[in-house]
Structure 1
């Protein structure tokens, strides 16, 4: 397995009731502190599976992946990230992994820049524009 594959991350873009789930990491990666629930993709795991697993492990929320929004090398962390649009199907939103997560919020479209001031990956922004402004 290559170094890139070992460090690849899957992020769940979870939308419910015209809000998107964001979490504040206990340890920020550079200027990034609020982000989508995310974590490393395990060997033999699809990005969609990793996004769902990490969301449950970090937030207690059960989600079903709906579509792949895209992937990129994050401009601030250089980590390869797969963005997965996901729908909640159960569980309760709580800080389930206090060693990793310091806070959770369901942000409206207009609140996103307060949490993510550097902007979003364009396919994610397009998805949230459609999902949150409908």
Structure 2
């Protein structure tokens, strides 16, 4: 049997529902006034007085197993109130000597240079997605060197995870003509001509400087 650490109006009303009683019948069952039960409905976040907490404890402890089971089911969050998982994107920062790999994305009447990236499905490893999406977009094979961290992207609002990768093999080419306009190896010294420095995640700049 679960132990209720603290009662509030919502839990008290859930217990009433579990007993399948009206407010009047529940008040009579507990030995309290109907007004008290009505207050629990009106103020679901309010905590009852200590003596009321004890009364509710006793009612719950003496309830039949079926009542307690219904009560516990009522306290479970419904799918509609469970927060949705945040969208996560894996972003690959691929180095080849003194060059970094970029793709030119198509937008709404705009083009922008970015690092290769792909959406992570629930349960997928960020590093695996970074490697797979880089190859799918550009034909380049890479190996993960290290994870650089994550942030909520300031423009898109998605959770962006950054992975530093080393070039292994393959000719860079645009394999996703729907999303991208072009693919290029860009000298590290010229990176901020393609992507403004203020738009680059600071740990990326630090890693590239070290490289």
Does 1:10 find its partner at 2:90?
Answer: yes
Q: Is the 8 A contact 1:113 1:119 kept in 2?
A: no
The aligned residue for residue 206 of structure 2 is: 126
Equivalent residue runs for 1:55-94 within 5 Å: 55-94=134-173
The aligned residue for residue 129 of structure 2 is: 50
The aligned residue for residue 40 of structure 1 is: 119
| Matched length | 128
The aligned residue for residue 97 of structure 1 is: 176
The aligned residue for residue 26 of structure 1 is: 106
Q: Shift of residue 32 of structure 1?
A: 7.8
TM-score (norm: length of structure 2): 0.57
Larger radius of gyration: 2
Displaced runs of 4 or more, over 2 A? none
TM-score (norm: length of structure 1): 0.87
- Quick one: distance in 2 between partners of 1:8 and 1:95? 23
Q: Which has the higher strand share?
A: 1
Unaligned runs of 5+ in 2: 1-82
Q: Cα RMSD (Å) of the superposition? A: 2.0
Q: Is the 8 A contact 2:116 2:133 kept in 1?
A: yes
- Quick one: distance in 2 between partners of 1:110 and 1:18? 8
Q: Which has the higher helix share?
A: 2
1:3 match: secondary structure: coil
Q: Say which structure, 1 or 2, has more relative contact order (CA 8 Å, 6+ apart).
A: 1
